[in-house]
Amino acid sequence: MQAVEVKSFLEGKLPGTVIEVEGEGCNFQLNVISDELAALSPVKRQQSIYAHLNPWIADGSIHAVTMKFFSSAAWAERT
C-alpha cells in the first residue's frame, strides 16, 4: 500500500479534510487537517479515521497508523 492511496481514500471519505500521509507498506503517519475533526474529542477523532481504515487493518494491508490532528489555523501556524 502506498501513502498516496491512503491520502486519496481518506480525503474522498472525509470532504473538507486535508490529509498528509507519510510511510509506506503497512505503517503510516497521518497529519489530519480539519476544523470539524479538531473540534472532537481525541477518541472521536481517531474513531472517525479508523472507521474508514478498518477493512485494510483487518486484512493486514495496514498494520500501524499514528495520527495528529490540526485545525486549519493550527496547521497554517506550523508551516
* pLDDT for the residue numbered 29: 97
Q: Provide the CB-side half-sphere exposure for 19 (13 A, CA).
A: 25
* pLDDT for the residue numbered 30: 97
pLDDT by position in tens, the chain (length 79): 789 999 999 999 999 999 999 998 889 999 999 999 999 999 999 999 999 999 999 999 999 999 999 999 999 998 6
Residue with cell 501513502: 3
Q: In what order do the strands lie in the sheet with 18-24?
A: 18-24, 27-33, 64-70
What DSSP element (H or E) covers 32?
strand 27-33
Domain architecture of the chain: domains with CATH = 3-77 (3.30.300.90)
pTM of the model: 0.89
* pLDDT for the residue numbered 25: 84
* pLDDT for the residue numbered 24: 82
Q: Across the chain, which distance is largest between two alpha carbons, in Å?
A: 37
- How many other C-beta atoms are found inside a 10 Å radius of the C-beta of residue 31? 16
